[in-house]
Amino acid sequence: MARMKFLCDADRCIECNACVTACKNEHEVPWGINRRRVVTINDGKPGERSVSMACMHCTDAPCASVCPVSCFYTTADAVVLHSKDLCIGCGYCFYACPFGAPQYPKTGNFGSRGKMDKCTYCAGGPEADNTAAELAKYGRNRLSEGKLPLCAEMCSTKALLAGDGDIIASIYKERVAKRGYGSGAWGWKVAYKETIAI
């Protein structure tokens, strides 16, 4: 079974926010919630880089570890999803996530901020696939239709890649090799576990 992953190539991202807009439109995400956002480092300075950020669907998701009601679960494709019916809005997942993926519709104290929302990798939720209930709570289930997340499909520079982690890694490896970074690229040894010949 494939392990679905995201990868944003900071050398290609042009901060157009097409991924953000595509996500909001496809899933009718409410005002104030951003399942995906573009973060720019060194804005306006030499070395400026932009990265499209969302839930990274971690193998050992810290949000799931701290959830007191166990509303998180992982699909067979390694996509981390949650149940809005179980969520109590405590905010523990928000503080545990290093990517800031969990979002809440309101600000306030424990439980008053509403049900948590986050990137679903266009995989819907625990309801039956492509039902009105699933669409209303989680947005469109593109994975059940055999499609990839719309944010990646709408990326004009193909900076944002989505799909099987092994295929994504091979695409990025090829890009890095063409750029001439080789094994000196940040994260190379971790990502490729030093088993891929350069």
Would you state the pLDDT for residue 193?
A: 58
Instruction: Tell me the whole-structure pTM to 2 decimals.
Output: 0.83
pLDDT at residue 98 in the model: 93
Residues contacting residue 131 through CB under 8 Å, at least 6 positions apart: none
Q: Secondary structure of the chain: what % helix, strand, coil (to 5)?
A: 30, 15, 55
For residue 112 the two structure tokens come to 């008053």
Neighbours of 20 (CB within 10 A): 20
pLDDT of residue 106: 77
Taking the alpha carbons of 134, 140, 146, 149 in that order, is the dihedral positive or negative? negative
- Please name the residue that has the structure tokens 């810290």: 62
Tell me which residue of 136, 163, 150, 158 sits closest to 26, measured CA to CA: 150
Ordered per-residue pLDDT tens for the chain, 198 residues:
678 999 999 989 999 999 999 999 999 888 888 999 999 998 988 888 999 999 999 999 999 999 999 999 999 999 999 999 999 988 899 999 999 999 988 776 666 778 899 999 999 999 999 999 999 999 999 999 999 999 999 999 999 999 999 999 999 988 888 877 655 555 555 655 555 454
Domains, the chain, with CATH or none: 4-192 (3.30.70.20)
What are the structure tokens assigned to 183, written together? 């094994």
